[in-house]
Amino acid sequence: MKMNEKMSMMDKFVNYVMLDGKKSLAKKIMADTFEEIKAKGQKNPQAIFDKAIENIVPKIEVRPKRVWGSIYQVPQEVKPKRQLFLAAKWLIDAARSKKGAAFSKFLAIELIEAANETGTAFKKKIEVYKMAEANKAFARFANKR
């Protein structure tokens, strides 16, 4: 991946972390998260971040499709922009669901776990893949554009 793509991916992630338009706070949270990753013994937090996103990005998902009055869960490929959105959403939701410490600590833990292919966000990806596998019989209903 090129440097510009990495920076835009990081900027996008900061935007997903942001609440109520407070970008400076979101950037501080990301800086604290990277410091926490360093404190946990990882040498390169950017590499951990990239690896975590790479491991969580889904290639396929299920979307509801109405056919003759029935609604089927149809497996479809995920577009690149939505891949990053879903990966970021799963990571952030997993970190926000935990209580008792700073969000940046939980986000750091979730990023490290995702880089090691464990954790809540990675389990969510596996769950989506299992759902797509279970509903692959309905792939014929996918839009062929």
What is the per-residue pLDDT across 92-120, written as a single tens digit (0 to 9) for each? 888 888 888 887 888 888 888 888 888 88
pLDDT band at 144 (very low <50, low <70, confident <90, very high): low
What is the per-residue pLDDT across 21-64, written as a single tens digit (0 to 9) for each? 788 888 888 888 888 888 877 788 888 888 888 888 888 777 77
What pLDDT does 6 receive?
A: 54
Other Cβ atoms closer than 10 A to 103: 15
Domain covering 3-141 in this structure, CATH number: 1.10.455.10
pLDDT surpasses 60 at 5 = no
What is the per-residue pLDDT across 56-93, written as a single tens digit (0 to 9) for each? 888 877 777 778 887 877 777 888 888 888 888 888 88
pLDDT surpasses 70 at 13 = yes
Compute the radius of gyration of the chain from its Cα atoms: 17
Nearest to 121 by CA among 90, 92, 84: 90
**What angle do helix axes 80-96 and 120-134 make, rounded to 10 degrees?**
130
Burial class, 76, CB count within 10 angstroms (exposed 0-12 / middle 13-18 / buried 19+):
middle
Q: How far apart are CA 38 and CA 104, in angstroms?
A: 12
- 1 or 118, which is more confident: 118
Residue with tokens 């410091």: 35
pLDDT surpasses 50 at 145 = no
